[in-house]
Amino acid sequence: MTEATTHPARRPRGSAPPRAATPLRVAASAYAREGGLTAHSTFHDWYAEAGERAFARVERVPLDELDGWETDPGTGNLRHHTGGFFTVEGLEVRMPAGAVPAWSQPIINQPEVGVLGILVKEFDGVLHCLMQAKVEPGNANGVQISPTVQATRSNYTRVHGGRPVPYLDLFRDPGPRGPLVDVRQSEQGSAFHHKRNRNMVVEADGDVEVHDGFRWLTLGQLHRLLAEDDLINMDARTVLSCLPFAHEELAREFGPPADAFRAALFRSCDPYAEARHPMSAVLSWITEARTRTVVRARRVPLAGLPGWHRTPERISHSTGAFFDVIGVRVEAGGREVARWSQPMIEPHGTGVVAFLTRSIDGVLHVLMNARVEAGYIDVVELAPTVQCTPASYEHLPRSARPRFLDEVEHPDPARVRFHSVLSEEGGRFHHARNRYLIVDTDLDVPPDDPDYRWMTAHQLVELLRHSHYLNIQARSLVACLQSLLMPGEPAPTAERKVRT
Amino acid sequence: MTEATTHPARRPRGSAPPRAATPLRVAASAYAREGGLTAHSTFHDWYAEAGERAFARVERVPLDELDGWETDPGTGNLRHHTGGFFTVEGLEVRMPAGAVPAWSQPIINQPEVGVLGILVKEFDGVLHCLMQAKVEPGNANGVQISPTVQATRSNYTRVHGGRPVPYLDLFRDPGPRGPLVDVRQSEQGSAFHHKRNRNMVVEADGDVEVHDGFRWLTLGQLHRLLAEDDLINMDARTVLSCLPFAHEELAREFGPPADAFRAALFRSCDPYAEARHPMSAVLSWITEARTRTVVRARRVPLAGLPGWHRTPERISHSTGAFFDVIGVRVEAGGREVARWSQPMIEPHGTGVVAFLTRSIDGVLHVLMNARVEAGYIDVVELAPTVQCTPASYEHLPRSARPRFLDEVEHPDPARVRFHSVLSEEGGRFHHARNRYLIVDTDLDVPPDDPDYRWMTAHQLVELLRHSHYLNIQARSLVACLQSLLMPGEPAPTAERKVRT
C-alpha cells in the first residue's frame, strides 16, 4: 500500500480550513522552535534594541487633569472631548442566583470592534508570523511582542485621516482565499461593556516589506517566548489561540511524543479521539447555562456609584478590592514621539488563570468553567478552570471563593506543565498581570456538574471558529496549551519555584 | 472486503452528534413517508377532528379595550398590567449605509427565552416526533401542527404556579446523553427586539403517554405535510431545521437518487463534497458583514413614533405599508376554555421567502443573503435569497427592491422544487403568511459579492448547531429543503400553478 492510500486525503471540505493542511502547516511552524528568518538566538538582542528605541514614559495624573478628557457634569462619566476612544461609566449588575446577587462597578464602554491581525507567510515552507515589538502605556515593562496590526474601527474604515496603520490594507482585503482566521472575540467582561475585537490571521501573497520594529517569527519561537514573563502581549495571545491546530494526522507527522502528557495532548488534538462529552452535549451545556443564568446589567452614571468613591487621583471601591480607575499621561514613541493622556484600569493584585488538565482514556482534557461576567454580550463564556484575583475574595463570603483555587495555588510542582506571568492589554489596563498555569491533575467532576466540563483540545479549537464561546483568559491559555505540543525546553520541575 | 472495512465507522467524536448515526436515523425517519404509528392515510381525519375540538374565536377589539393590557401614560407603550408577556414599544433605527438609512417602527419586546421542543422516540427502529395539533389566535385556519412543547421561561423555570405544560419535564432534564438539538435561535428581527427561543429535540428513554391532541409522526410525514399550506407551524419548522441531516453515508444508505436535483442535494449533504466556499471563508464573510454594518437601534416611546399613527383600532404606518398593531380578544380551548386579550402584529400582504439553488459541480448550493434586521442580537443573520413582502416596496426607491425577486416571482414552473404558503407564529402575528419557494436556477453571483454566498446543505447544518447564524425564514426553508431529500410526491410542475 502506498502512503496515499493508507492516509487518504478525504476530509470534510465544507468544515475544513481554507487550505487542506492548515493545522499541519501551523504545527510545522510550531515545530520550528529555533526560528527561521530570525534565528532564535538573536531574538533577545533585537527585542532589547527595540525596547530602547520604542519607549514609554507614563506618569500618573489626577483624573481632572487628563488632557482631552472631561467629566460629564450630569453623569460623572469620563469621556474624551471628541466623543471618541472610550468612556468610563457605571454598571449596575443584578445576578439573583450568584454568590453576590447585586453590585455596581465602573466599566469601560468601547462599542467599536477593532482588528487584531497577524500576517503570516511561508519562508522555506515554514509559516512565519510578522510580529511587532510595541510599547503600550500599561505594560509594566514597556515593549511587548504584539500582532502585526492592532487597529481601531476608525483606522479600519478610514473614517479619520491620520497616519495609516502599517499592513492594515492586507487585512482589509485578504485576497480571494480569505483569511485563515477571522472571528470576533470578547475581552474582559469584568472591565469592558460588550467589548470585542476581530481576530484575524491573513497569509500574504506577495513580498512584504518589514518595517522597523517588526520581525518574522515562527510559531515555535512564539511558543518559547510565551514561557517568558510579560513578553507576548494579550492581543498576540488571543489571535494565536484562534489558529486551528487540531488534526488527525498530527501524531503521524510530528509524533508520537515520548512523554505521556504530550502524547495525551496529541490525541486531544485528534478529532477522532474519544471526548468525555460529545460536542452536542457541550453545546447543550452552554445553551443551558446561558438560558438559566439571569444577569441584568444596566449602564448607570459613574457619579454616586454605590460602594465606589472618587478622589482626585482615582476611583476606588470602599473595600480597596477589585480595581481602581486612574489617570496617566503618556509620552511614547519609536520613530515619532506621541503624547496623550487617558484613564486606565489598575487591578489590585496579581491574578491566577489556570487550566486543570487530565488524561481520560489517554486523551488530554481541559476543565472548562461556564463563567458569567457582567460585560459579556451573551451572559456566559467558557473560562479557565480558575480565573480570579485571590485578593478580591478576601472580603467576600467563603462560598464565593472559586473552586479549584487551592489546587492551582499549591500544585505538585512536577505536574505544572506551563507557568508564566503574562500581562493583560496595556492600552486599557495598568500593570495588569496574571499568573498563567497549566496543571495536570487526577481530580474529577461529576459529568453533570452545572459549571464545569472536561473538554478536548479539538473541541476548544472547533469552538474558537465562532464568536464568544471562549473568554479572553481561556484563549490565552489555549495559546499556552498549543505551546506544549512540540518538544522544547523541559517542563518546569521542582527546581523552578512556582510563585504562589 | 467486508462492508465494515469499506465503510469504516471512523468519524470525529468530538464534533459528532451524540449518537454516532443521528443524521442517518433522521434520514431513516424522513424516508418513512407513509408514517409509522400514525398511518399517513389517517392523518387528515385526526387533524380535522383535532381542529373541531380545539377551537379559537378571535375578535378584533380596540387597543384600549384589551383586558389586562394598558397604555403607559408616559410612553404610549402597550403592556400587560402584570408586567409579564411582552410589550409593544417603539424602535428608532439608524443604518447609514442602508437603502433606507433611518426609520422608526413599533417592535415587540419579549426578552425571555422560551423553549420550543420536539420529543422523539424510536418505534420499530424509526424515529417519531410527538407533534401537537395546537390552536393559536393568529392562525388563519385555527389549528396547526406544533412542537411537543412551546413554553415560556416562566413555564420552564416554574416561577409561577399554574397548569404544568405537558412533557416539559422531559426537556428540563433530558437525561445523561443530552438533547439531540439544543440551540437558541432568533425570531423575526423586523418585529421582535432580540427575541429568541431555545430549540430542542430530546429523545425519550421510557414510555411516553400520548395526551389528547398529540400524535407520533415520522419526519417523512412531516415533510409531506410541509408541502400543504398553513399546516406545519413556524415553531415546528424551526426545530425541525436544527435536526442534523448531513452525513457522508446518506447516498449509500438511501440513494443514489434517480433525478439530478435530488442527487445534487444528497451530495450537498456530504461533508466531503466540494463547496464553492470553504467554511472558513463563509465564517469570514459573516464576520466581515457583522463588522462592516453599522446599525443603531434604540428603544423609544411608542407614542409619537415618526410616521406611525394610532387610531382606536390600530397603529399603522402613514403609507399603509409594513404592518399594523391590532388588538384581539381570544376564546380558545380544547379540554378547557381560555379567554384572553392581546395586541398582535398584522402584516400587510403575503410575503415571499425563497431559496435559489444551483448545482455547482454536481453539488447543490443555496444562495444565502447576509441580511440586517433591526431586532437581531448580532446585526446580521443569513437569510434566504429572497425575503420580502413585495407590497412593502411599492413606496420605496427602486434601489431598495430586493435582488432576485423577479426570479422567484416569475420562475420557470418546471424548476420550482418546493412551494407552499406557510404561517408565521400565531401567538404574535395575525394571519402572517409567506409563500415559501425553492427554485432551481442557473444564475450566479460573483464569488466576492458582499451580500450573497452559495452554500451547501452541509454548511447550513453545521451553522445550525450554533446560535444566530440562520434567521427564522432561512430555517423554515432548510426544513423544506430537508423534505426534498427522500422520494415522494412528484415535484410541482406546470400543472400546479405557482401563485404569484
* A244, closest residue in chain B (CA to CA): B280
pLDDT of residue B159: 53
Best to test chain A binding among B13, B461, B468 (most A CBs inside 10 Å): B13
pLDDT at A290 over 50: yes
Write down the residue that cell numbers 379595550 correspond to.
Answer: B65
Q: In chain A, what residues touch B113 (CB-CB under 8 Å)?
A: 291
Mean residue pLDDT across chain A: 89
Report all structural domains of chain B as residue ranges with CATH numbers, in order of start.
Answer: 260-295+348-499 (3.90.79.40)
pLDDT of residue A27: 95
Q: Which of B178, B278, B377 sits opposite A18 (nearest CB)?
A: B278
Arithmetic mean of pLDDT, A385-412: 86
Which residues fall within 8 angstroms of residue B497, CB to CB, at 6 or more apart? B413
Q: Which of B23, B47, B30 is nearest to B221 (CA)?
A: B30
* A180, closest residue in chain B (CA to CA): B280
* A292, closest residue in chain B (CA to CA): B157
The Cα of A285 is separated from the nearest Cα of chain B by a number of Å equal to 9
Task: Kindly state the cell numbers that stand for A299.
Answer: 449602564
Q: Within a 13 Å sphere around the CA of A430, how many CA atoms are in the beta-carbon half?
A: 20
Quickly list DSSP for B330-387. Answer: EEEESSSEEEEEEEEEEESS-EEEEEEEEEETTEEEEEEEEEE-TT-TTSEEEE-SEE
Q: Do B12 and A272 touch (CB under 8 A)?
A: yes
- Cβ-based burial of A122 (10 A; exposed 0-12, middle 13-18, buried ≥19): middle
Q: Which of B153, B181, B458 sits opposite A14 (nearest CB)?
A: B458
Which residues of chain B are under the pLDDT cut of 50? 1-20, 160, 490-500
pLDDT of residue B414: 95
The Cα of A18 is separated from the nearest Cα of chain B by a number of Å equal to 6
Taking the C-alpha atoms of residue B487 and residue B125, their distance in angstroms, rounded to an integer, is 20
Q: Give the ipTM of the model, two decimals please.
A: 0.91
Taking the C-alpha atoms of residue A479 and residue A184, their distance in angstroms, rounded to an integer, is 17
Taking the C-alpha atoms of residue B98 and residue B84, their distance in angstroms, rounded to an integer, is 34
Of residues B405 and A334, which shows the higher confidence score? B405
User: Could you read off the pLDDT of A348-360 as tens digits, one per residue?
Assistant: 999 999 999 999 9
User: Could you read off the pLDDT of A117-133 as tens digits, one per residue?
Assistant: 999 999 999 999 999 99
Amino acid in the structure at residue B202: V
Neighbours of A19 (CB within 10 A): 14
Taking the C-alpha atoms of residue A325 and residue A314, their distance in angstroms, rounded to an integer, is 5
Amino acid in the structure at residue A492: P
- Where are the strands (E) in B362-481, listed by range? 363-372, 380-383, 386-388, 416-423, 433-440, 452-456
pLDDT of residue A54: 84
Taking the C-alpha atoms of residue A242 and residue A244, their distance in angstroms, rounded to an integer, is 6
The Cα of A323 is separated from the nearest Cα of chain B by a number of Å equal to 30
User: Could you read off the pLDDT of A306-328 as tens digits, one per residue?
Assistant: 999 999 999 999 988 889 999 99
pLDDT at A490 over 70: no
Q: Which of B12, B277, B448 sits opposite A271 (nearest CB)?
A: B12
Q: Do A281 and B465 touch (CB under 8 A)?
A: no
Q: Do residues B299 and B111 touch, judged by C-beta distance below 8 A?
A: no
Q: Which of A436, A488, A482, A4 is nearest to A229 (CA)?
A: A436
Taking the C-alpha atoms of residue A332 and residue B225, their distance in angstroms, rounded to an integer, is 69
- Where are the strands (E) in A23-135, listed by range? 55-60, 69-71, 78-80, 87-94, 102-109, 114-123, 126-135
Q: Is the peptide bond before A256 cis (omega within 30 degrees of 0)?
A: yes
Q: Do B14 and A275 touch (CB under 8 A)?
A: yes
pLDDT of residue B156: 67
Q: In chain B, what residues touch A293 (CB-CB under 8 Å)?
A: none
First CA to last CA across chain B, in angstroms? 55
Taking the C-alpha atoms of residue A89 and residue B199, their distance in angstroms, rounded to an integer, is 36
Q: Which of B385, B361, B376, B357 is nearest to B449 (CA)?
A: B385
pLDDT at A7 over 50: no
* B112, closest residue in chain A (CA to CA): A291
Q: In chain B, what residues touch A378 (CB-CB under 8 Å)?
A: 377, 467
Q: Which of A10, A153, A278 sits opposite B16 (nearest CB)?
A: A278
pLDDT of residue B232: 98
- Whole-number Cα distances in Å, A356 to A189, A481, B137: 22, 11, 53
Q: DSSP secondary-structure letter at A429?
A: B
Amino acid in the structure at residue B37: L
User: Could you read off the pLDDT of B271-302 as tens digits, one per residue?
Assistant: 999 999 999 999 999 999 999 888 999 999 99
The Cα of B199 is separated from the nearest Cα of chain A by a number of Å equal to 10
Q: Do residues A459 and A222 touch, judged by C-beta distance below 8 A?
A: no
Arithmetic mean of pLDDT, A226-234: 97
pLDDT at A160 over 90: no
Task: Kindly state the cell numbers that stand for B248.
Answer: 457522508
Amino acid in the structure at residue B467: S
Q: Do residues A278 and B14 touch, judged by C-beta distance below 8 A?
A: yes
Q: Do A279 and B466 touch (CB under 8 A)?
A: no
pLDDT of residue B162: 59
pLDDT at A444 over 50: yes
Q: Do B279 and A462 touch (CB under 8 A)?
A: no
Taking the C-alpha atoms of residue B148 and residue B169, their distance in angstroms, rounded to an integer, is 12
| pLDDT class of A484 with cuts at 50, 70, 90 | very high
Q: Do B291 and A183 touch (CB under 8 A)?
A: no
- Cβ-based burial of B327 (10 A; exposed 0-12, middle 13-18, buried ≥19): buried
